[in-house]
Structure 1
């Protein structure tokens, strides 16, 4: 009873914190599994317009560094991306013209596995990290990346992406197990005081969902992380 009361209180505080500042910024994230097809790009552009977020994060774009024009969406002129020359992996961040965003620093890798942007959004500092972890060795990759970016992660940081690994029982299928590398990754998240705000908000609701809905969340395609003290609101 005591633990349940404490967890309920923590969830209430998280929801209250997010409601108070909403709608500060909204973020959507999607693994697009390749955007070289004009039809697929059209569908994704339509999806972005329909969702109408502040920021859109895409993973596995499969574009080259010269393909920035293929990510153009009306109303989202700010496009930041990290790509692989072989058109593998690839991540991108699109920012709506409706907001006052100024980029101050960008970090990314040549493999197209992540991109980090630091800037100001409506004159408030924000750091956004979009990750696409490789299919092999994903937990180790994410842990190492967090270590490398540790100095950049602060109270205004939001991490999203496709991690290709089940972090919790909520994420995994019956065939997947939490191994040593995943445990070490979770320990690193705790050490860095990062909280998975998406699952914090849906944890209670997940129990009542059908098994099909549970499977949709089990692949870890949608992740939101933020330090526990942050005041930035996100929505799926």
Structure 2
């Protein structure tokens, strides 16, 4: 992951490519020469198959810096190549600029991987997010794959990607600008099918400065490069990405208890505020009614009487609502008693409801009479 402010006020060209191994010196030279001709500012590679100490093999005359992360297995590993003289400062703490993350997702259906990705990005605060790499997932088989036999429902990993996209307010930038186009980034020889599994997911606030996004040709690897261009000069006019709560935090018991404590405190505080406001409103109504009654007693005009009646109607409406809430709460308590409610109603009907209510009396009337008595 790279967290960096940008000082370049022109276009920033990003290119991602799954290289499927660059252990071979010939293949490594071919791929790096190909990338040099495309003149990108930042290059994101997946499946490098290199050990950490071998990352120096990616250094070239046009590469100013190499950021490398070896995978736990030989078939993994990701790298970021930063073009020489490209003015970028790499930070390891929170900032309000860019957060870049290069990923190579598991081929297995492991949704937890994307939950970890979301948690990692969230730690870097309210920055512009550019998440990219080989997701090993087809987002929409109808337009992102040529062979869809046997596909019935989204995988758990796909659902996790959708959740990540929603929580971080991201968008698949290529699909956004090509809503119905069919272009692909990978060809599977065993399945004899093309698919689009390499993505740039970016903050929605970056869409307005996106100049271009294209999918290249499958030439130097079994994946096609994806190219994405941003116009940085207009960045200052944008607002940072809006904050969204990371719901995966609630799975942790300690975080959940802290969340309940904070929300509970806020609710109590808000309810207390509403109660004080309500009491104040009633007091003001009483004062206004008193003034209006005094005015009407001295003037006795029709307009004053109308205004007085309006104030009294508001006053009565307040208490009518309070009583309805009270009735509802008592009604719920009675109904929740299960079998006891029948005995309770029978006892109350026999002892307290006037005989004239039994003739044609509806159940609701009985309940209301009992509740009125309970008050």
Q: TM-score, normalised by structure 2?
A: 0.47
Structure 1 residues 1-236: aligned runs within 5 Å? 23-84=10-71, 86-105=73-92, 125-152=97-124, 154-169=126-141, 170-172=143-145, 173-175=147-149, 176=151, 177-204=153-180, 206=181, 209=182, 213-214=183-184, 216=186, 219-230=195-206, 233=210, 235=213, 236=227
State the match for 2:314 in structure 1.
none
Larger Rg: 1 or 2?
2
The 3 A distance-change label for structure 1 pair 221 and 143 is: same
Residue by residue over 1:56-79, the C-alpha shift from the partner in whole angstroms, topping out at 9 and shown as x without a partner, is: 000000000101221112211210
Greater length-normalized contact order (CA 8 Å, ≥ 6 residues apart): 1
The offset of 1:139, in angstroms, is 3.8
The offset of 1:188, in angstroms, is 3.0
The 3 A distance-change label for structure 1 pair 94 and 214 is: closer
Q: TM-score, normalised by structure 1?
A: 0.72
Q: 2 CA distance for matches of 1:33 and 1:182?
A: 23
Of Structure 1 and Structure 2, the greater helix share is in 2
Q: 2 CA distance for matches of 1:27 and 1:38?
A: 24
State whether residues 30 and 221 of structure 1, in contact with CA within 8 Å, keep that contact through their aligned partners in structure 2.
no
Of Structure 1 and Structure 2, the greater strand share is in 1
Say how many residue pairs are matched. Answer: 195
The offset of 1:216, in angstroms, is 4.6
State whether residues 163 and 220 of structure 1, in contact with CA within 8 Å, keep that contact through their aligned partners in structure 2.
no
The offset of 1:45, in angstroms, is 0.8
State the SS of the aligned residue for 2:71: coil
Q: 1 CA distance for matches of 2:209 and 2:78?
A: 22
| Backbone CA RMSD of aligned residues | 2.8
Q: Could you tell which deviates more after superposition, 96-105 or 180-189?
A: 180-189
Q: 2 CA distance for matches of 1:192 and 1:165?
A: 19
Structure 1 unpaired stretches of 5+: 1-20, 107-117
Residue by residue over 1:1-52, the C-alpha shift from the partner in whole angstroms, topping out at 9 and shown as x without a partner, is: xxxxxxxxxxxxxxxxxxxx99521100000000100111011111111111
